[in-house]
Amino acid sequence: MYSRRTAYVIVVVAIALAVIFYPFMTRINSVVSTNESSMLPQGVESIKVMNIISREGNLSEQGNYIYVVTGVPVNLTTFYRLNGTLTQGTSWVSVARGVYIKLNNVSQRLLNVSLSTAEGLVRLWEAVNNLSLRLERLNSTLVGLTYMLRNADYAYAQYYSLGRNLSLAYSQAVPEVVALGNETEGLSGAYVSTLFNTIRAEYVLSNMTDAYSTGNLTQGDVELVVSECPPIGGAQSPSPQLVEALFHYVLSTGGPSRFSLASAENFTYTVLYGELNASGEQRALPLLQAYGLAFRNASAAYSSYIESLMNNLTQDNQYRLYYALSSIGSASGREAFLAVVSSIPAPGQTKELLTTLAEEYAASGFNESDVTLIVRNVTYSLLSSRLPSDVAMDMASYVANGSFSREAAAELAAKTLAARLPVNLSGYAPLVLSYVPEELLEYDPNATCALCSNMTLAEASASAIAERGLNVTPSLSMALLRGESAYSLSLDLVNRSLTSPTARLLLAELASAGPIEDYQSLLSRMPSLLNSSLARLGVPSNLTPVLSSEAAVVLEDPSLYGRAVTNVTEYAFNRTFANLLGDLRGLLVQRNLDGFLVMYSVNMSYDEALSVRGQLVSELRSAGYGNASVMLTGTQAINHDLSSSSFRSISRGDMISALLVLVILAIVLESLVAVLVPFIGIGVGLVVALGVGYLLASHNVITLNSISRTIMYEAGLGLGVDYSSLISRRFREELGKGLSPAEAAWSAARRSWRAVVTGALTASIGFGAMTIASNFPFLRSLGEAAPISILITMAVSLTVVPAVLAIVGGSRIVWWPSRVKASAARASPGRSPRARYIAFVVVIALILIPAGFIYATFRGSYDFTLMMPQGAQSVQALHYITDNYAAGIMYPVYVVAANYSTLQAINSSISRLSCVQSTQLYNYSEPVLSVTLSVYPLGREAIACAQSIRQLAKQVSPSAMVGGEAAINLDLQNIVYHDFYHLVYPIAIVLMFIVLLAFFGSVPMALTALASVVIAAVFGSSLAIEAYRLSGVNLPWYLPIVVFTAILGVGMDYNSFIINRVREEAGSHDVRTAVEIAVRSTSVLVVGLSTIMAGAFAGLLAFSAPGFRGMGVALMAGVLSAGLLAALLFTPAVLYMLGERALWPSRRAGR
């Protein structure tokens, strides 16, 4: 029994709990996850793959934000306009820019190759051209050298002949001239000495002795003469023989008085003549004759002077006389010498040479040491008019020294040639001097003018000189001399000097072009040369024309290099653009080329993403695309819209549900004020339940998602209304029996607790059974969250609501505008409802057939965007992408294998699938194959494609794994049907049956209640499924699960209320009467409660997402069906038809 004090304590405690848990309740949305992958366990293959992908940031973040650009045509013009913009994110512009940059690098490299090739051609041309000019000069040199050699050989022959003749002449003449000169000098000395002594001796005999007077020459006289005639100069004292001979000569010629210079000269001549005859030197007699004659002629000019000395021959005069005679003797000797030489018989040139030689020798005073010099001077004088001065001097020296030879002649010929070289060949003088003599000696050893008369021999000699002096091979020299082209020889020589195959290839191109006269001609022909050369070097033929022309331009003006690179790049890019566009079409470029995608992989806030969108619009319009528009989507954008829309819808739904429940509850309770009583309990229960939910979720004890959070609130609200309304209704009944408010509250709680606990426990078991699927986060979240709300609401309903009723329930104001009336449930006689109940059951069975078929064959959508407003920009953009691009670009399928080669094999296998648009291999730390689908990635076709990909991948490698959104949905599908329908459903039903059996004590009642709930869930789900299918919407796959679970809870409440009242009335009535009483007393409440619950679930209709709205329709239809089936149509009908058997195995139920 409640006391008012107890009631107040309960209320105060409840309020305190509400105050404590309210702050936590307000934060519950912060722990709600909207990530669909949270619906799967971590051990599932697709989740394992996504965990790998999440470690590869570049892949996991690829579609964070996607900007869908429309109204901008995709073409070359657009690229060049936008190339400086759209610098962030991945778009066709950035991809094309990457290609452009690569092509720019390639173009730069190829242009450098082209320039290098062009420069190589220039260098080779310069080498060939310069060598050709050198060879032409060499040819001129060789021709000139050949003629010079012939001339040199001619000179050589002439010089040799001349020198040899001169040498031969000198070899005969010089000894003779020298000998004659010596004889002349000796004769001259003897003549002067004899003449001098003759004059001195005669003077002493005449003046100092009386030998003439006595006619007797004594010894003393002789000695006196000798003593008076001392040696002077080269003259000795007169010999006794000379004195005696003179004495007799003077006497014989008339005596001293007749003695004169002429007498002395005659005596001298006679003495010398006799001595020559006596000595056998008759060869000298002609010289003596010539000398005597010359002396007489010469002395005649000085006879007076000499005779004056003769008459006074003092010692001093002896000296004077001697030197006078010596002077006359020298002159007489030269004259006599020349006279004798002139008498020597010789040819005319030799005679001339001999005469000149004699004259010079005589002029030297017959100095034999001057003979060589004399010969040289004479020879030089002879040759200087005919030969170059230095050549004449050299030949004279050779001849004079007796060293003249063929070598000397060859040297002199070379020297002559060098001296007479033309000005343009003067530089070759050292070459001539160094090598011509040897060649002359080699090719004309006999100095017979062999080269003069033989051109071939002369050319060979010229080649030999070129080899030794110019380092030119004889073969080259002879080729030039034979008339071969200097240009062709240059090509051959340059080719032989090259080691690089590339250089030889370029030289071949030059050779095929023929001689190119000058650099300008080369530049004009460079494009054609380069075009052919680059093609032979392996440069792509489609680029060789532009590379050739641009390289030629840069070669002429290096400052144009940058422009040339750009021209080549644009040329190449423009020709690859179509292929590039073909690769990107449907991926980053809209299929009709009227738009494109910009994908951002960076993590940024939604506001930042919106700011980027504004920047994109501004850039596009600044580039001239005024009609451009940009939509924002991507995983993060969708997640943001999903979260924000879910939270907004939850808040709006919570408010609408509360208002509808308030209105309907007022109708059921027939009071505008009494509705506050249940709401006090409901409010406290929800605050505590949601606060506890937040605490548990924030500490990772449970998990919450948008569905479990919604069900947690809706179930708490709806069941709280059920429980509170039941207790309030029973309170009013008990109050009408005349009980006090405290007694009525206690009685209401006592009579209602079984129904409330039964309903709460069965609902909790229905939801809690989902935790059996411990590896299924989505189901586990429902199984963890809903029982918390249900059990707390149950506890509050059984404590707080009776306490509040005990305090205020006795006031008339509480029940205004209705009045509390005395009432009692009584059976009233009337027609039996059996036929009506049978009809109900038959109709339900007939309706159940199509509904069951719809329910059993339902294959819901795995498109999580159904839980989002379809008008959300991210959703619209996603569908736009699906319609205009490769459908799966935003949510690719990922394949992971042990190594890269395995992925390559898998790639080859799956590429043939029609649902595969494209693939991309990434060789990261863990190799990944990204597969873009051609079907909508969130649809069932994508699931089927993922299954095919997985099967093919497993065939290649059993350890290969497949992930991605389609694979996650595939795993969801498999796990749902395995874990839920095969595990959770059966266990939940069995557990609920056990609870119902324990509380009802009747198998038929427990089975009827379960059947009623299942039928209601099937009816509600089928109605929503078919209604939305007709409108073109396929509802989410988890709708039957959520509906079944929710209806299992609330529907069991309704059945518990009816069955509990039937059991209560069966204590004093038969079962059929008890059924009729229970229906009359409880059906309005149950139908009203189902309507209230439908109103609570109607809050889901406030959601803008079709998935939530469809779920709301299904739950509303299911709850209403559950209420009608439990209160009027099914449970009462079955129990009525069973009669007393409905209580089996018990017989009667007590109060």
Strand partners, 1145: 1002
**Cis ω for the linkage preceding 1145 (within 30 of 0):** yes
Rounded CA-CA distance 566/559 in Å is 13
Residue 658: band (very low, low, confident or very high) from pLDDT cuts 50, 70, 90: low
The pLDDT score that the predictor gives to residue 1150 is 42
Over residues 443-459, the pLDDT tens digits come to: 888 888 888 888 888 88
What would the mean pLDDT of 621-626 be, rounded to a whole number?
86
Q: How many domains does the chain have?
A: 3
For 3, half-sphere exposure in the C-beta direction (CA atoms, 13 angstrom radius) is 3
Residue 201: band (very low, low, confident or very high) from pLDDT cuts 50, 70, 90: very high
Q: Is 337 exposed, middle or buried (0-12, 13-18, 19+ CB in 10 A)?
A: buried
Tokens 């179930």 belong to residue: 715
Residue ending a domain, choose from 749, 783, 815: 815
The pLDDT score that the predictor gives to residue 877 is 82
Tokens 């959601």 belong to residue: 1103
Over residues 1059-1109, the pLDDT tens digits come to: 888 888 888 888 888 888 888 877 777 787 778 777 777 777 777 778 778
Q: 3-state DSSP call for residue 929?
A: strand
CB 674 within 8 A of CB 815: yes
Residue 976 has pLDDT above 70, yes or no: no
On whether both 700 and 810 belong to a single domain, the answer is yes
Does 1126 reside within a domain? Answer: yes
Residue 550: band (very low, low, confident or very high) from pLDDT cuts 50, 70, 90: confident
Q: DSSP label at 979?
A: I
CA-CA-CA-CA dihedral for 419, 424, 426, 431, to nearest 10: -120
Task: Of 777, 1054, 926, give the one whose Cα is nearest residue 34.
Answer: 777
Residue ending a domain, choose from 308, 342, 376: 342
Distance of CA 596 to the CA centre of its chain: 27
How many residues are given for the chain? 1151
**CATH number for the domain harbouring residue 745:** 1.20.1640.10
Task: Name the helix (H) or strand (E) containing 931.
Answer: strand 928-933
What would the mean pLDDT of 919-927 be, rounded to a whole number?
80
Does 9 reside within a domain? Answer: yes
Rounded CA-CA distance 1072/1084 in Å is 18
On whether both 704 and 841 belong to a single domain, the answer is no
The pLDDT score that the predictor gives to residue 1149 is 44
On whether both 722 and 853 belong to a single domain, the answer is no
User: Which has the higher per-residue pLDDT, 169 or 36?
Assistant: 169
Q: Is the pTM of this model over 0.85?
A: no
What would the mean pLDDT of 478-500 be, rounded to a whole number?
84
CB 888 within 8 A of CB 917: yes
On whether both 854 and 809 belong to a single domain, the answer is no
Does 937 reside within a domain? Answer: no
Contacts of 22 (CB under 8 A, 6+ apart): 687, 691
If one counts every other C-beta atom within 10 angstroms of the C-beta of residue 821, the result is: 9
Residue 763 has pLDDT above 70, yes or no: yes
The pLDDT score that the predictor gives to residue 634 is 79
On whether both 792 and 848 belong to a single domain, the answer is no
On whether both 792 and 839 belong to a single domain, the answer is no
Cα-flanking dihedrals φ and ψ of residue 235, to 5°? -95, 135
Q: Using alpha carbons only, how large is the chain's radius of gyration in Å? A: 73
Does 1091 reside within a domain? Answer: yes
On whether both 659 and 760 belong to a single domain, the answer is yes
User: Which has the higher per-residue pLDDT, 41 or 854?
Assistant: 854
Residue ending a domain, choose from 783, 815, 847: 815
CB 997 within 8 A of CB 1010: no
* CA angle at 706 for the pair 705 and 709, rounded to the nearest 5°: 80
Residue 818: band (very low, low, confident or very high) from pLDDT cuts 50, 70, 90: low
C-beta pairs of 611-614 under 8 Å, 24+ apart in sequence: 612/65, 612/67, 612/88, 612/89, 613/67
What would the mean pLDDT of 593-603 be, rounded to a whole number?
82
User: Which has the higher per-residue pLDDT, 298 or 54?
Assistant: 298
On whether both 787 and 855 belong to a single domain, the answer is no
Does 561 reside within a domain? Answer: no
If one counts every other C-beta atom within 10 angstroms of the C-beta of residue 254, the result is: 10
Rounded CA-CA distance 267/285 in Å is 16
Does 366 reside within a domain? Answer: no
Tokens 């002396």 belong to residue: 295
Does 144 reside within a domain? Answer: no
Residue 199: band (very low, low, confident or very high) from pLDDT cuts 50, 70, 90: very high
Q: 3-state SS of 769-803?
A: HHHHCCCCHHHHHHHHHHHHHHHHHHHHHHHHHHH
Longest dimension (CA), the chain: 243
Question: How, if at all, do strands 32-33 and 704-705 pair?
Answer: parallel
On whether both 743 and 855 belong to a single domain, the answer is no
Rounded CA-CA distance 607/89 in Å is 17
Residue 826 has pLDDT above 60, yes or no: no
The pLDDT score that the predictor gives to residue 827 is 47
Residue 535 has pLDDT above 50, yes or no: yes
On whether both 808 and 842 belong to a single domain, the answer is no
On whether both 804 and 844 belong to a single domain, the answer is no
Rounded CA-CA distance 1101/463 in Å is 113
Alpha-helical segments (H) within 514-560: 519-536, 544-556
CB 249 within 8 A of CB 267: yes
For 893, half-sphere exposure in the C-beta direction (CA atoms, 13 angstrom radius) is 38
Joined tokens for residue 304: 């007076």
Domain that holds residue 750: 4-33+649-815
Q: How far is CA 1107 from CA 870, 1049, 1128, in A?
A: 10, 21, 31
Rounded CA-CA distance 421/974 in Å is 109
Cα-flanking dihedrals φ and ψ of residue 73, to 5°? -65, 145
Rounded CA-CA distance 43/41 in Å is 5
Does 386 reside within a domain? Answer: no
On whether both 695 and 781 belong to a single domain, the answer is yes
